[in-house]
Copies of this chain bind each other. A is one copy, B any other.
Amino acid sequence: MNFSVSEENYIKSIYHLQQQTATVTTNSLANELRTKPASVTDMLKKLQTKQLVEYEKYRGFKLNATGNKIALGIVRRHRLWEFFLVNKLGFEWDKVHAIAEELEHVSSMELIKKLDAFLNFPQTDPHGDPIPDTNGKITVIKQLSLADIAVKKNVVVSSVSNQSPEMLEMLKHYHIGIGTSLKVNKHFTFDGSVEIKVVQQNPCVISEQVAKNIFVHHD
């Protein structure tokens, strides 16, 4: 079946919200899509008749198996385009989301297949998020935020959950990017700030807010 841009945006947003809560509410989806609850209810009825969601009035909803597969297809396209924009066109990673938000809806299967090959089958997007494969399989790496990492362990930055220009500016200042190796020297209990040692840099202190948005895995 074929889906409208609007339907695809709803499906993808439900998918993302489900990563946090198993079942999604009307208000949270309206908020995510910057639309009104009434519009969400309308669209949900449509997605229900198209058999993409499990939905019970007043009870919230979630994607079913079909819906999930479609969502992963959209996420795949989005992340492949983000990779292209950063690694081929030279965008900074805080600028690509809005553009990929449009490109993800271009519907040619062949296009994505060839784009994937051209990019050399990347596994993660510029923000460190995994790219689902053709079958919708996604490899979720176990990762912890810097705020929750024990001291003296060597870790590698695997993703950032805040992708704003402000966050990018901050990370650049600390010489941190996806793949950067570092370790935690100390957690300050006063304000939750964290002293870290980035390889080939002097130790520095980052705020709890920053630490919580940097995800790492052990190497």
A positions within 8 Å CB-CB of B: 85, 88-91, 95, 98-99, 102-103, 105-108, 110-111, 114-115, 118
Contact = CB atoms under 8 A, between A and B. Distances in A.
Contacts of A89: 111, 114-115, 118
A56 to B, nearest CB: 35
A75 to B, nearest CB: 18
22 contacts: A85-B111, A85-B114, A88-B118, A89-B111, A89-B114, A89-B115, A89-B118, A90-B114, A91-B110, A91-B114, A95-B110, A98-B108, A99-B106, A99-B108, A99-B111, A102-B105, A102-B106, A102-B107, A102-B108, A103-B103, A103-B106, A106-B106
Nearest to A113: B89
A96 to B, nearest CB: 9
A3 to B, nearest CB: 14
Interface centre among A95, A103, A106, A110 (most CB of B within 10 A): A106
A54 to B, nearest CB: 31
Nearest to A89: B114
Contacts of A115: 89
A191 to B, nearest CB: 38
A106 B85 CA distance: 13
Contacts of A107: 102
Contacts of A102: 105-108
Given A89-B118, A102-B106, 20 more contacts: A85-B111, A85-B114, A89-B111, A89-B114, A89-B115, A90-B114, A90-B118, A91-B110, A91-B114, A95-B110, A98-B108, A99-B106, A99-B108, A99-B111, A102-B105, A102-B107, A102-B108, A103-B103, A103-B106, A106-B106
A33 to B, nearest CB: 19
A114 B102 CA distance: 16
Interface centre among A99, A111, A118 (most CB of B within 10 A): A111
A187 B99 CA distance: 52
